Amino acid sequence: MPSAIENPIKKRIVVLISGTGSNMLNIAEHCQDNKINGDVVAVIANRADAAGLAKAAELGIATEFVPHTSFADREDYDQALVERVQSYQPDLIILAGFMRVLTPVFVSAFADRIMNIHPSLLPKYKGMHTHQRALDAGDEEHGVSVHFVTEELDGGPVILQSRVPIFPEDTAEDLQERVHEQEYRIYPLVIRWFCADRLKLTEEGAVLDGATLGEQGYAPE
Ligand code: NHR
Ligand code: GAR
């Protein structure tokens, strides 16, 4: 029988999505394969047509649809979302292609345990359409960032980034595909750190193994 040290209590993870959910699936599979000391206990979408909901259900994960269109304003929606998320008693909330800006109502309810993956090398290109913006700017590289979610949109402390080259003939779709490959590597890695109690959000920023991370997150140098 595994000892308590080898098998500490698994972290409870709730994933918020709006669409395909390929990052969500990748994370759920890492959990099921015991590569992350956690379980995806629920997947919640704000859109009924989020394909990820059916995929999560196939894996035996609880799914919910909380439509933002049913609420008068963002705060009311966020309050409803807080209640649904809270019902799963999560240790960690993962945004994975979740396309609604969260107000302080949500962020303050789960302060220091919400993460997002954003398809740019933050602090560059906060917000939407990041691949096209990198192309339009003539950038030679692009990438993706995992960061803690704070009240400042795409502005919370960066934990880890991955870079990809931009080639002259690239379309936004090419770039998105190249970035996606990196997302599948770095998001599970960061979640593994968090679930092993190695990673925290503090007043100083993101802290990994006791060291405060810089503006671009963990860098192995
Ligand atoms: N909320 C907070 N408070 N902080 C962050 O860092 C957040 C957040 C909510 C979502 C993901 C983010 C991204 O990775 C994210 C980070 C949606 C928009 C947006 O403008 C911006 C950033 C992100 C996600 N959404 C439109 C809105 O009006 C809706 C767009 C649509 O429905 O297609 O909410 O990029
Ligand atoms: C991911 O590429 C993620 O970086 C991006 O949406 C995609 C979701 O894919 N997030 C944003 O653009 C947030 N504004 P998935 O649903 O297949 O995981």
Residue environment code for 180-217, b if the CB has 16+ CB neighbours within 10 A, otherwise e: bebbeebbbbbbbbbbeeebbbeeebbbbeeeebeebb
The domains found in the chain, sorted by start residue, are 11-212 (3.40.50.170)
Best substitution site from 160, 183, 184, 191 to test ligand 2's pocket, by max atoms within 8 Å of Cβ? 183
Q: What share of the chain is helix, strand, coil (3-state, %, to 5)?
A: 35, 25, 40
Beta strands in 31-187 (DSSP E): 38-45, 62-65, 92-95, 114-118, 141-148, 158-165
Per-residue model confidence as pLDDT tens digits over 42-61: 999 999 989 999 999 999 99
Q: In the predicted model, is pLDDT for residue 144 greater than 90?
A: yes
* Residue 97 beta carbon below 6 angstroms from any ligand 2 atom: yes
Q: Per residue in 103-124, pLDDT tens?
A: 999 999 999 999 999 999 999 9
Angle, to 10 degrees, between the axis of helix 172-195 and the axis of helix 22-32?
A: 30
Q: Whose CA is nearest to atom 17 of ligand 2?
A: 22
* Sheet strands (E) in the chain: 11-17, 38-45, 62-65, 92-95, 114-118, 141-148, 158-165, 199-202, 205-208, 211-212
Band (194; pLDDT cuts 50, 70, 90): very high
23 lines ligand 2 (CB under 6 A): yes
> Residue 16 and residue 14: Cα distance in Å, rounded?
7
Does the structure show a pLDDT above 90 at 5?
A: no
CA 4–ligand 1 middle distance (angstroms): 39
Whether residue 160 has its Cβ less than 6 Å from ligand 2: no
Q: What pTM was computed for the model?
A: 0.96
Q: Which atom of ligand 2 is nearest to the CA of 119?
A: 4
Average pLDDT over residues 184-203: 98
180 given a catalytic annotation: no
Q: How confident is the model at residue 158 (pLDDT cuts 50, 70, 90)?
A: very high
Ligand 2 centre to CA of 178 (Å) is 13
